[in-house]
Amino acid sequence: MHPSIADQATDQLGGPLSVLVRQKRDHVKLAALMERLRGTDGEVQARILLEIYRLVFPHAFAEESVLWPVMRRVLPDGDALTLQVEQEHQEVNGLVKTLDGLPAGSPGRAGVLARLTEVLDEDVRDEEDALFPRLQERISRRELQVLGVLWELVRRIAPTRAHPVVARRPPGNVVAALPLSALDRGRDLVDRALPGAPGRMAPVLHRIGSVLERTSNAVERLPVMRSGEDPSTRTSAGRHPVPWRKPPVKPDGKERP
Ligand SMILES: [Fe+2]
Ligand SMILES: [Fe+2]
Average pLDDT, the chain: 90
Q: Are residues 143 and 172 part of one domain?
A: no
Are 113 and 210 part of one and the same domain? Answer: no
* Together in a domain, 62 and 172: no
**120 and 65 share a domain?**
yes
Q: 24: helix, coil or strand?
A: helix
- Based on the domain organization, do 98 and 144 belong to the same domain? yes
Mean pLDDT of 88-107: 93
Per-residue pLDDT of 122-162, as tens digits, reads 999 999 999 999 999 999 999 999 999 999 999 999 999 99
Check whether residue 19 and residue 92 sit in a common domain. Answer: yes
* Structural domain count of the chain: 2
Give the range among 131-135, 187-191, 218-222, 239-243 with minimum mean pLDDT.
239-243
pLDDT in tens, 18-77: 999 999 999 999 999 999 999 999 889 999 999 999 999 999 999 999 999 999 999 999
d(CA 227, ligand 1 centre) in Å: 23
Rounded to the nearest angstrom, the distance between the alpha carbon of 199 and the centre of ligand 2 is 40
Residues 178 and 65 in one domain: no
68 and 140, same domain (yes or no): yes
User: b/e for 228-248, b at 16 or more Cβ within 10 A?
Assistant: bbeeebbebeeeeebeeeeee
| Residue ranges making up the domain that contains 206 | 165-230
**Distance from the alpha carbon of residue 214 to the mean position of ligand 2, in angstroms:** 27
Question: Which ligand neighbours the alpha carbon of 27 most closely?
Answer: 1
CA–CA gap between residue 129 and residue 133 (Å, rounded) = 7
Its pTM stands at 0.87
203 Cα–ligand 2 center, Å? 37
- Asked whether residue 50 falls in the same domain as residue 95, the answer is yes
58 and 85, same domain (yes or no)? yes
Is 109 in the same domain as 190? no
In a domain, 235, yes or no: no
For the segment 164-169, the average pLDDT, to the nearest whole number, is 91
Please give the DSSP secondary-structure letter assigned to residue 159: -
